[in-house]
Amino acid sequence: MDAKNVKYRLGKSYGFQILTYILAFACVVPLLAILIFILKQGLSKINWHFLVNVPKPVGESGGGIANALVGSILIIIVASIIAIPIGIMAGVYLSENKKSRLAYWVRLSTDVLQGVPSIVIGIVAYFWMVKPLGGFSAFSGSVALAIMMLPIVVRSTEETLKLLPDSLREAALALGMPFHRVIFKVIVPVGISGILSGVMLSVARITGETAPLLFTAFGNPYLSTNLTKPMQSLPLLIFNYATSPYNDWHDLAWGASLILLLWVLFLNIFTKIVTRKWKVQL
């Protein structure tokens, strides 16, 4: 091999390296672009007044998104109360019974559920809950979102617990612990950081879901905390107000978008911190 050939090869390798840098950076660009854009549009709209007031009627300027904030928080809390215990228990089942028939079907159905488009879940919730109950309700929205959270919580719990060594379980069993104590006093506490990270990512995931809420929580221009009645939420507000012809309402939508984005960003960063801090060193 002569020197020229080596140079050529080195050059090619160098060029390839640069290409990977560029492409890696390209992955960051969308997030940065969105963040900057929404910040520019939304930041000036956000102030205390914006957070504690409900939207004003058309034509009046000002107003805020308090109804959507409260609604989103309530709907998410109820969805979490439904999905987290079921999801963690199912995840525990899967990690404890790796090869059972039921485990196979649970795994398959959570995988499929994860891929079901959210609008389909919305329609189903509409037919199962809104119609029989005779009206839109925040609770039916929570159920729809809980169904979306479930597979994430189940699988992240399973993945976390599967990685724990058998010796841990044996140590507990050899001390005469009954099965439920082995699970709740040893296995879950040791895996807590992984379980929590799944839970928080699932919350981040559903916060912005709009489609399932269109047919269920529906939206509400006023502040409501009644779970059996329609309720506003951030994504619904953005959807309704951004598509309206009024500039004041567009402002509300931009501000709400920024809040939503910051919340998801916060959850992701918080998850990273918590998982690092609560990680049990094996």
- Among 11, 117, 135, 189, the residue binding other proteins under the rule CB under 8 A is 189
186 binds other proteins (CB under 8 A): yes
- Give residues with Cβ within 8 angstroms of 188, minimum separation 6: 88, 92, 161, 195
Q: How far is the CB of 13 from other proteins (least distance, A)?
A: 43
282 binds other proteins (CB under 8 A): yes
**Range 78-106 burial, b when 16+ CB lie within 10 A, else e:** bbbebbbeebbebbbbbbbeeeeeebeeb
Q: How far is the CB of 102 from other proteins (least distance, A)?
A: 14
SS3 268: helix
When the beta carbons of 77 and 175 are compared against other proteins, the nearer one is 175
Contact 65/251 with Cβ under 8 angstroms? no
Residue 231: beta bridge partners?
Answer: 218
43 binds other proteins (CB under 8 A): no
Q: How far is the CB of 107 from other proteins (least distance, A)?
A: 18
**Range 119-140 burial, b when 16+ CB lie within 10 A, else e:** eebbbbbbeebbeeeeebbbbb
- Give residues with Cβ within 8 angstroms of 158, minimum separation 6: 90, 91, 94, 95, 107
190 binds other proteins (CB under 8 A): yes
- Among 73, 177, 201, 262, the residue binding other proteins under the rule CB under 8 A is 177
Q: Which stretch binds other proteins (CB under 8 A): 17-25, 61-69, 167-175, 211-219?
A: 167-175
When the beta carbons of 193 and 228 are compared against other proteins, the nearer one is 193
135: left (phi over 0), alpha (psi -120 to 50) or beta: left
Q: What share of the chain is helix, strand, coil (3-state, %, to 5)?
A: 75, 0, 20
Q: How far is the CB of 101 from other proteins (least distance, A)?
A: 13
When the beta carbons of 22 and 282 are compared against other proteins, the nearer one is 282
Number of residues that bind other proteins (CB under 8 A): 21
* Residues of this chain, 71-110, that bind other proteins according to CB under 8 A: 99
181 binds other proteins (CB under 8 A): yes
When the beta carbons of 269 and 280 are compared against other proteins, the nearer one is 280
Binding site for other proteins (CB under 8 A): 99, 165, 167-168, 170-178, 181, 185-186, 189-190, 280-282
